[in-house]
Amino acid sequence: MRVVPDVHHLSQATYDRLKAELETLTTHGRTEIARKIQAARELGDLSENGDYHAAKEEQGKMEARIRHLEALLENAEIVESTNSDTVQPGTIVSICYEGDDEPERYLIGSIEERHGDVEVISPGSPLGQALLGASVGDIVEFAAPGGTLKVEVIDIEA
């Protein structure tokens, strides 16, 4: 059975930023880490060499970020924020939970899109799925660990 990867909705600016980060990590980043590991090896006994272990840990974290970026960019779909009457990936939506008076603002998209004080909701999450296609004034329901919740769409911004 073939697993279909999740599509990651990214703005062009975020896609370009992540592509540049990947390029930097796979070139300059890897070279710099190799240099740190080599310098630490020259200090002697590796079993008690803190510099060596720190450099290897940094290398592991960087390689994990590289794999994450490669997967993200491979399955990316560029979305353009347009003035839409419905919630789409890349839009900011204001919602109000049933029983609350204060609306909350969220960006529908990838965590990599985060900017400012706006929290991010993945389009694949239960709330994200419920909101996609909704219009201002719509009340949508979604399954949460504590039961079914209802939210009203208050505003949609590009």
Domain edges within the chain: 8-78, 92-157
- Residue ranges of alpha helices (H) inside 10-125 are 12-24, 30-41, 50-74
Which pLDDT band holds residue 103 (cuts at 50, 70, 90)?
very high
- Mean pLDDT computed over every residue of the chain: 87
What digits encode the pLDDT tens for the residues 4-39? 457 787 888 889 999 999 999 999 999 999 999 998
What pLDDT is recorded for position 113?
A: 78
Inter-CA distances, 18 with 7, 69, 113, Å:
15, 7, 10
Which pLDDT band holds residue 3 (cuts at 50, 70, 90)?
very low
CATH number listed for the domain at residues 92-157: 3.10.50.30
The C-alpha R_g of the chain, in whole angstroms, comes to 21
What pLDDT is recorded for position 108?
A: 87
Is 84 within 8 Å of 158 (Cβ atoms)?
yes
- pLDDT higher than 50, residue 55: yes
The fold adopted by the segment(s) 8-78 is Helix Hairpins (1.10.287)
What pLDDT is recorded for position 20?
A: 95
